[in-house]
Amino acid sequence: MRRRTIDSVLGDSRRLAHPHYSLASVRPIRVVLVERLPLVVRALRHVLEQDPAITVVADVSEAIDPRIAQLRPDIVIVDIDELSVSMEEAIHACERASPQSRICALSTHHRPRVMQRALAAKADAYIVKDTSPAALVEIIHSVASGEFYADPRIAGTILRRRSGRTADVGELSGREFEIVRLIAEGLSNREIGRRLTLSEKTVKNHVSHILAKLKVAARSGVAVFAIRNGLVT
């Protein structure tokens, strides 16, 4: 058996001490980058691989690259600004190649319509390029664990457009829609309660009803579900 070096042992110790590692699970999150610009590839690799719980296993320039199917990563980050095909085609190609992978759309755009298109195409996250390095790492961990992510600055704008409308039968109530909008803006139950003059317990009950109606497991999926399914326009 090959002898382990001191550095490798110390490396294991550092990984286990890192907040994203536990003794129960030390398998890193495997990421493929779909990016055509070498400088952006280098920057993303540098940011992500600062976290020992994340490994960039490949970078490819096209969503149809066969390595996505071969590697079957946990996460595929697709730069939707730098594609030879439409963002919808790229996202669908990644989904077909590796159905179990979570897909994160990366873009410079703060335009609500761009995020709506990406999420409607079944991206699991929409990340804007001015996101901080630390926040990017947290988003990747969250999405890898099964959560969804929509940039709250844009999601709040989209949902605010609908806030004055009366919910149709089978959709959310007016109050529930207000809460969906505030969840999308990143507010906690306590902050929502202050904004709407409700008790934290009342807000918690509303959130439970919203999750049940939308059939999502966590509040992070609320805004994504609403945008994907046309509850906002």
User: What is the number of alpha carbons within 13 Å of residue 80 lying toward its C-beta?
Assistant: 30
* Same domain flag for 143 and 31: yes
pLDDT given at position 20? 53
Cross-strand bridge partners of residue 78:
34, 105
Query: Is pLDDT larger for residue 186 or for residue 18?
Result: 186
* Same domain flag for 123 and 144: yes
Take residue 162 and report the two structure tokens written for it: 């609908």
Query: Is pLDDT larger for residue 212 or for residue 58?
Result: 58
Residue 22 covered by a domain: no
Please identify, among 149, 176, 208, the residue that sits at the C-terminal boundary of a domain.
149
* Same domain flag for 201 and 178: yes
Residue 9 covered by a domain: no
Range of the domain at 185: 155-228
User: Domain count of the chain?
Assistant: 2
Please identify, among 123, 149, 175, the residue that sits at the C-terminal boundary of a domain.
149
CATH classification of the domain holding 182: 1.10.10.10
* Same domain flag for 138 and 162: no
Lowest average pLDDT, out of 1-5, 86-90, 227-231, goes to: 1-5
CB 150 within 8 A of CB 120: no
Instruction: Identify the residue whose tokens are 């939308």.
Output: 214
CB 31 within 8 A of CB 75: yes
Q: Tell me the pLDDT tens digit for each residue of 67-110.
A: 999 999 999 999 999 888 899 999 999 999 999 999 999 999 98
Q: Tell me the pLDDT tens digit for each residue of 118-161.
A: 988 989 999 999 999 999 999 999 999 888 888 888 876 665 55
DSSP state at residue 213: H
- Indicate whether this model's pTM tops 0.75: no
